[in-house]
Structure 1
Amino acid sequence: MLTSTLACLFRRGLLPLLLCLLLAPAARATHIVGGEMDLQYLNGNSYVLTLNLYFDAVNGQPGALDAELTAGIFEKGSNRRMMNVTLPLGNNTLVSYTNPACFTPDLVTRRLVYTQRLTLLPQEYANAAGYYVAVERCCRNNGISNIVNPSGAAQTFYLEFPPVTRNGQALRNSTPRIFPPLSDYACLGELFYYNFGGQDIDNDSLVYDLITPLNGYSSSGNPKPPTATPAPYPPITWLPGLSTTNQIPGAPTLTIGRLTGRLEVRPTQQGLFVFGIRCTEYRKGVRLGETRRDFQLKVIPCSTNARPKVLLQLPGTTRAYRPGRDTLRLTPGNNRCVTLRFTDTDPTSALTLSLSPVNFTAPLPTLNVLQGTVHAPGLPDTITSRLCFPECFNTRGKVYLLDVIVADNGCSLPKRDTVRVAFTSVPDPNAPPLLRTTAALPIRAKVGDLITFDLTATDPDNDPLTLEMTGRGFTPAALGATLTQGAASNQLNGRFSWRVDCRAVDKPLYEFEFIAAAAPCLDRQATTVVIPIQIDYQNTPPALTTSFLAPSAADSITVVRRPIGGVFEATLAGLDADNDALVMTAAGRNFELGAAGMTFSPRNGTGAASGTFRWVADCEAVRRNGLEVTFALQESTCRPQPRTRTVRFEVEAPETPAFLPPNIITPYLVDGKNDFFTLDNAQANLPPDFCDSRFADILIFSRWGNQVYRTTNRSFQWNGGNLPAGAYFYLIEFTDGKKYKGTVTIAN
């Protein structure tokens, strides 16, 4: 039944899995080789939980291959169940051997991958103690040699992870993963080693130690519990004499590199041995969690495998190199190659050659032969290879160490022989580049000048060249300077060009560095030429003179006053000692000159400018409570220093004597005197009309408030209108809102 079901599984693959399971024996059969879990962060609050279960494809019964498993997530400390997660089977693949040539048909392992996405909400997974995940399944392989009752021993897959928030901040973390599976076997009495380390996407620190595998609560009677039981989980039971620190009988016993995850053991007993490791994750010294991994190592007797040998022959001699005593001295003009010979006494031994630097990272020397087979029909008993050091190799007086390694194809792991070669190397001499220029020093320039010169770079050794331009304390491109290049024969030519503009006046001196560089043997050699360029720039501010009176000491603004209709004219002149172009302007403060009766006629030029100003005073200056005009002389240069003059224009208001209107008239006396009430005469001094303040009307009322007279004529004459004698009241109104009140009496 086992053979037919296994054939069904391997032949048909994963699709008809359920049909194979229905035809297989009960799920309590032994099959578990080992496995581990990991929890990876995706985005937001999403994660993916993965269980890798390793299945014995030879002795395990396919009926124990589950279509799904259930993981329980618990809160540490309280063991409160947070959720159960169904993990469907996704992938089912064979685990490859490190050396396929060492395949043995009684050791075939399959990797079953169960995965599921899940959501971990911050409000639910914030416990500082963290959480753990567990999956329980029975049973382990019946042939395990180091535990009690292996056919009834179960496995609990286990990992711990931190809360998803810490100190109010999101804590994004993925547990370690990508542990390499182990399909190889160990040879009795031979050193076995394997890199069992994982990787962490967050670059957290990983620490490894050995730990007793967990058994849990599943059993042969209940091999697949519907849900995992909360911790603690009982461990497996070691056979007498074995323990966590002595899991596989050996000399030495099984160990793991604390930081590397490298397994090592020299087994002294044949059999199938289960072992457990723990990978603990730290971030900035704070523990985040752990993942546990159980696996098995099969130990079998192997045929004797002799160690290969490597021999290095000193150059120019037939003597062999003596590690620890000899040092290769590689000097200019001498042979930089040595002869290597590799051999192995085993028949048909395939050898592989490699190099490993010990205390340097420079490019490695080369081997002209990297592999070959010895002691096979028609093949020699020795492989010869040439080890050649580059001419550029430079140890700079230090002694470098290089391991020359030969490895055979023995099982389960190759045997190696290493010769550590000490050497020093001095490269062939190399001259620095040469750099010439046509620049004639000293170079002085003014704004507007064009500076050009050529550069020529050559190398005595014909090494490839580069030509570079930099500035001391500035960037040439920011000033508009360029360096164009072109190659001709064995030289590199450059043309410098700079049209000096206003960007250059910030400094009096610019030092341009031109570098011709070569990099023979990756060792940069450079020759530098510095070209200083002096910038000549001075600016004398222009002079502005006007026919305006100078302002008083207490007021920096000149004031000009004219009556309505009055005319004011002035001239302005500007001169510049640097003969810069001058522009003269006049601008009103918040008004247009033409709207206020003003005109300005400039005459601009190079080194000199002038202007004529004219103002006919009108009411606009009254409405604006004065007008301010700024006259400016602007020079066209890199750092202009304009000159300005501000003048205030005001209209002189007419004199207004005291208003003394008459208060009595006698129209009924026939004497020809005081017959009229009038104000537009020298005696009354009615305020004159001025811009927006003009006579509007006069109203006369009786003592009972009845209007008896009204006129808009400033030159009115009121004769009483045949009204009875008595007192009358008048109201005079102006257009700007001023009012005058009084009384006038009609006497008999």
Structure 2
Amino acid sequence: MSVFSRLGGVLRAMLVVVLLGALPARATHIVGGELELVHQNGDNYRLILNLYFDAYNGSPNALDADLTASIFQKSNNSRQMNVLLPLVSNTFVNYTNPACAVPTLSTRKLVYSKAIKLAANTFDHPQGYYVAVERCCRNNNISNIMSPGAAGQAFYLEFPAVVRNGQPFIDSTPRIFPPLADYACRNELFYYDFGGVDADGDSLVYDLVTPLNGHSDSDLPKPAAALPAPYSQIDWRVGLGPNNQIPGSPPLRIDARTGLLTVRPTNIGLFVFGVRCSEYRDGEKIGESRRDFQMQVLNCAINQNPSVVLQPSPTSPVRYQPGRDTLHFSPGSNRCVQLRFTDPDPGSRLALSLRAVNFSGLMPNFTSVTSGTVRGPGMADTLTATLCFPNCIDSKGKVFLLDVIVGDDGCSLPRRDTVRVAFTAVPPPNSPPTISTTAGPVLPLRVRIGDVVTFDVIGTDPDRDALTLGMSGRGFSPASLGATLTQATVNGERRGRFSWLVDCQAVGQDTREFIFTSTSEPCGGRETASVSVPIVVEYSNTAPVLTTTLPAAPAGTVAVVKSLLNESYSATLEGFDADGDNLTLTAGAESFNLADAGMRFSATNGSGRASGTFYWDASCASVNLHRDLTVTFQLLDATCRPLPQQHRVRFEALNPDSTTLKLYNIITPNGDGLNDAFRLPDLPQNFCDAQFATIQIFSRWGQQVYETADRDFRWGGNDSAGIYFYLVSYTDGRRYKGWLEVIK
């Protein structure tokens, strides 16, 4: 060893002494734990550490507020990330039988969890990855390993790449079933289900493995992060190993397929053990989870097995012989058997349960007591129960196997006895239901808008099975048309009342076919009978006729009415409908109010006929209101699909002065009385808002030489011959221009 190495060792030892008070507490009462990786969505996952803590011997100060998980690539052990997992849950692990609890055995489940991202461009190595959390130390009094108080723990999990062949590879690691809080009794068979579930449906295989020690120790019980693999294993005591972790007859075993843990321990003590759950998809191992745990073995009071026997009937002296006898249940036969169960131990409380072995679905049921105490004061030595097989159980020609199990309340786990019952069952025959209606005798039914259709729907079943009536429509929903079917059971029949108020929603499909069903569900099956009732909705409509004294116009165009100012115009309108539908006459202004334009309309509406009168008093008020006075007259028939008739008219007010405009452009102001002055007597007359405003006269250089608001003006020139220009303006924005020559 070099000088620098020895110096480094001395400095490290000194640093440990100096920082000892700052280091995390030695959690010397860790029971075990396991890691989980759960896919959320996309590249989002949740990393979970379940850590089990001795709640009786452990100090609350040894509970960590957080632990660090490290993720490595399997191919080269390169670190990918460290994840600080905060404590999110702290609960007790329950006993299978709480009555068997002992005060010196109490376990807490501490859950550390954090959401993480596993990016596809990072976690894509085909050999996969592993997660590790390291923490020291184990319980001091573990019986089957060397130096337990100084032994660390490495919680370990393997998972595949999140992408394969360029496609996402989704995987959640298995969830191993809840940890045990129970203890085992020396020389008694102990069993516990460590089997797990896999969200992806992958195959799970279980085996026993030596627990991992890892790199943590009593000097550094809580490393800042886990070191990469390989991880050292705990040291077994002499004579023990991975296949003999808890000595017994038989020793600790686990079923590779189910995960059922069994042992009949021969020594008392506290024993650590390890279970591995390997995950396979399409025959390829893609990951593994490890659970590191402990089992306490105690001396217990002797508990004997209960027993249960089956008799085909209460009066039968013959017992059912498992493996030899088969029960056969046929229609009309007795489907109940008698069970007798007892226990050699006085005061034992027994409970019956059932487990289907090779079938699923409908189960037999107990019709009497399923639990009780034997050999207690006033209690019988043997309890009885009746087990009945429902009529609807159908083994379909196969032999079904049913385990009838009796368990006692002994500690630490119930002792059990099982009778495996083989049976066949044939359900009673079933006749289909029938259905009829009172809608006949002649179909289809013919109805008109406004009719109310009612009739009865009757469902019967020869076997008197419960029935349900249903209603549907071919190509439509009856409910959308307002049709209803109310139903009740009357004298063994299922009767329904159909009711439909036919309204305009029914128009559009000439025949509405209503389908009624009567359905029974005997023994989980489904039998249906149906009947249809076609209903023809008779509907037609003739367009109404509109006549009027208003001027006619080609279809799609607008008629024109011209009226002089201050004159009154009137027109009449008549409507007729051959179907006798209610008619309504209206007059609507398209962009103005009728009254504001001096217009009014009155109508008399009725069944088959309507009449109306229109009046217009043309005035400047109406002209100034709007240049386009267009009115739409409409005759509307009140029916499901109306055929309205329209007549559009544009009303125009005429100027009473229609003199043609004349413009003059030469004057000779020489005093001869001819063309001495410039005037414009033929300018457009003032009309409503079109009033004469001004005339302006300009020299050829643009200089204004004259202006007046008098439409009867006379301008005699500017004492200068030449060319002049004039501009006439009206209040409605119109302008007239011209030129004028003054000759001297």
- TM-score range, shorter-chain basis? 0.7 to 0.9
Distance (Å, rounded) in 2 between the aligned partners of 1:360 and 1:197? 20
Match of 1:256 in 2: 254
Distance (Å, rounded) in 1 between the aligned partners of 2:439 and 2:372? 61
Q: Is 1:68–2:71 an aligned residue pair? A: no
Partner AA of 1:583 in structure 2: T
Q: Is the Cα contact below 8 Å between 1:155 and 1:213 reproduced in 2? A: no
1:700: Cα distance to partner?
5.7
Match of 2:424 in 1: 423
1:587: Cα distance to partner?
2.5
1:372: Cα distance to partner?
6.4
- Helix, strand or coil for the counterpart of 2:292? strand
1:213: Cα distance to partner?
0.3
Q: Is the Cα contact below 8 Å between 2:585 and 2:634 reproduced in 1? A: yes
Q: Is 1:644–2:641 an aligned residue pair? A: no
- Helix, strand or coil for the counterpart of 1:743? strand
**Inter-CA distance 420–739: structure 2 relative to 1 (3 Å threshold):** same
Q: Is 1:111–2:107 an aligned residue pair? A: yes
Partner AA of 1:661 in structure 2: Y
Partner AA of 1:579 in structure 2: G
Segment drifting more, 562-571 vs 660-669 = 562-571
**Residues 702-721 of structure 1: CA distance to partner in whole angstroms, max 9, x if unpaired?**
8998877654443445567x
Match of 2:7 in 1: none
1:195: Cα distance to partner?
0.5
**Residues 164-190 of structure 1: CA distance to partner in whole angstroms, max 9, x if unpaired?**
x999x9x998994762215332665x8
Match of 2:728 in 1: 733
1:235: Cα distance to partner?
0.8
**Residues 202-229 of structure 1: CA distance to partner in whole angstroms, max 9, x if unpaired?**
788684533320123455x649467675
Partner AA of 2:577 in structure 1: D
Structure 2 residue corresponding to 1:482, chosen from 478, 481, 484: 484
Distance (Å, rounded) in 1 between the aligned partners of 2:514 and 2:239? 80
1:486: Cα distance to partner?
6.3
- Helix, strand or coil for the counterpart of 1:76? strand
Distance (Å, rounded) in 2 between the aligned partners of 1:546 and 1:41? 79
Distance (Å, rounded) in 1 between the aligned partners of 2:213 and 2:700? 124
Partner AA of 2:392 in structure 1: F
**Residues 509-532 of structure 1: CA distance to partner in whole angstroms, max 9, x if unpaired?**
333445556666666666655443
Partner AA of 1:498 in structure 2: W
Q: Is 1:395–2:394 an aligned residue pair? A: yes
Q: Is 1:668–2:671 an aligned residue pair? A: yes
After the TM superposition, which residues 74-89 of structure 1 pair with which residues of structure 2 at under 5 Å, given as runs? 74-77=70-73, 78-79=78-79, 82=82
Partner AA of 2:361 in structure 1: T
Structure 2 residue corresponding to 1:209, chosen from 206, 216, 221: 206
Distance (Å, rounded) in 1 between the aligned partners of 2:699 and 2:462? 122
Partner AA of 1:156 in structure 2: Q
Distance (Å, rounded) in 2 between the aligned partners of 1:454 and 1:180? 62
**Inter-CA distance 401–130: structure 2 relative to 1 (3 Å threshold):** closer
Distance (Å, rounded) in 2 between the aligned partners of 1:396 and 1:494? 36
- Helix, strand or coil for the counterpart of 2:137? strand
1:638: Cα distance to partner?
1.1
- Helix, strand or coil for the counterpart of 2:206? strand
Q: Is the Cα contact below 8 Å between 2:332 and 2:428 reproduced in 1? A: no
**Inter-CA distance 223–380: structure 2 relative to 1 (3 Å threshold):** farther
Distance (Å, rounded) in 2 between the aligned partners of 1:235 and 1:121? 29
1:578: Cα distance to partner?
2.0
Q: Is the Cα contact below 8 Å between 2:667 and 2:677 reproduced in 1? A: no
**Residues 334-359 of structure 1: CA distance to partner in whole angstroms, max 9, x if unpaired?**
43333445577899987654332331
**Residues 288-319 of structure 1: CA distance to partner in whole angstroms, max 9, x if unpaired?**
88453232464989979678463544798665
1:276: Cα distance to partner?
0.4
Distance (Å, rounded) in 1 between the aligned partners of 2:85 and 2:695? 103
Segment drifting more, 458-467 vs 730-739 = 458-467
Distance (Å, rounded) in 2 between the aligned partners of 1:377 and 1:562? 119
Q: Is 1:155–2:119 an aligned residue pair? A: no
Partner AA of 2:544 in structure 1: P
Segment drifting more, 651-660 vs 443-452 = 651-660
Distance (Å, rounded) in 1 between the aligned partners of 2:721 and 2:381? 157
After the TM superposition, which residues 2-21 of structure 1 pair with which residues of structure 2 at under 5 Å, given as runs? none
Match of 1:235 in 2: 233
1:262: Cα distance to partner?
2.0
Segment drifting more, 656-665 vs 425-434 = 425-434
**Residues 465-505 of structure 1: CA distance to partner in whole angstroms, max 9, x if unpaired?**
65554444444333223345567676666544322211221
Match of 1:180 in 2: 179
Distance (Å, rounded) in 1 between the aligned partners of 2:379 and 2:347? 9
Match of 2:13 in 1: none
**Residues 601-638 of structure 1: CA distance to partner in whole angstroms, max 9, x if unpaired?**
44433223344445566666698554433332222111
Match of 2:294 in 1: 295
- Helix, strand or coil for the counterpart of 1:387? strand
Q: Is the Cα contact below 8 Å between 1:35 and 1:157 reproduced in 2? A: no
Distance (Å, rounded) in 1 between the aligned partners of 2:557 and 2:211? 96
1:738: Cα distance to partner?
1.5
Partner AA of 2:336 in structure 1: C
Partner AA of 1:179 in structure 2: P
Q: Is the Cα contact below 8 Å between 1:631 and 1:646 reproduced in 2? A: yes
Distance (Å, rounded) in 1 between the aligned partners of 2:563 and 2:651? 8
Q: Is the Cα contact below 8 Å between 2:36 and 2:157 reproduced in 1? A: no
Q: Is the Cα contact below 8 Å between 2:431 and 2:461 reproduced in 1? A: no
Distance (Å, rounded) in 2 between the aligned partners of 1:488 and 1:95? 53
Distance (Å, rounded) in 1 between the aligned partners of 2:111 and 2:595? 86
1:658: Cα distance to partner?
6.8
**Which runs of 5 or more structure 1 residues have no equivalent in the other structure?**
1-26
Distance (Å, rounded) in 2 between the aligned partners of 1:273 and 1:175? 25
Q: Is 1:370–2:370 an aligned residue pair? A: yes
Match of 2:513 in 1: 511
Match of 2:608 in 1: 607
Q: Is the Cα contact below 8 Å between 2:173 and 2:287 reproduced in 1? A: no
Partner AA of 2:106 in structure 1: R
Q: Is the Cα contact below 8 Å between 1:39 and 1:50 reproduced in 2? A: no
Match of 1:21 in 2: none
Match of 1:361 in 2: 361
Partner AA of 2:276 in structure 1: R
**Inter-CA distance 543–259: structure 2 relative to 1 (3 Å threshold):** farther
Partner AA of 2:273 in structure 1: F
**Identical aligned pairs, as a percentage?**
37
1:95: Cα distance to partner?
6.7
Distance (Å, rounded) in 2 between the aligned partners of 1:600 and 1:35? 92
Distance (Å, rounded) in 2 between the aligned partners of 1:315 and 1:83? 65
Q: Is the Cα contact below 8 Å between 1:35 and 1:52 reproduced in 2? A: yes
Q: Is the Cα contact below 8 Å between 2:454 and 2:497 reproduced in 1? A: yes
Q: Is the Cα contact below 8 Å between 1:192 and 1:413 reproduced in 2? A: no
- Helix, strand or coil for the counterpart of 1:422? strand
Q: Is 1:444–2:446 an aligned residue pair? A: yes
Distance (Å, rounded) in 2 between the aligned partners of 1:414 and 1:651? 112
Distance (Å, rounded) in 1 between the aligned partners of 2:200 and 2:431? 44
- Helix, strand or coil for the counterpart of 2:738? strand
Partner AA of 1:195 in structure 2: D
Q: Is the Cα contact below 8 Å between 1:137 and 1:225 reproduced in 2? A: no
Q: Is 1:330–2:329 an aligned residue pair? A: yes
Q: CA RMSD in A?
A: 5.6
Distance (Å, rounded) in 2 between the aligned partners of 1:588 and 1:404? 88
Q: Is 1:629–2:631 an aligned residue pair? A: yes
**Residues 50-108 of structure 1: CA distance to partner in whole angstroms, max 9, x if unpaired?**
531247x7xxxx588864347333343545884777979967x797465967x8x8x95
Distance (Å, rounded) in 2 between the aligned partners of 1:381 and 1:546? 109
1:109: Cα distance to partner?
2.7
Distance (Å, rounded) in 1 between the aligned partners of 2:346 and 2:738? 141
Match of 2:539 in 1: 537
- Helix, strand or coil for the counterpart of 2:275? strand
Q: Is the Cα contact below 8 Å between 2:136 and 2:150 reproduced in 1? A: no
**Inter-CA distance 712–429: structure 2 relative to 1 (3 Å threshold):** closer
- Helix, strand or coil for the counterpart of 2:261? strand
Partner AA of 1:141 in structure 2: N
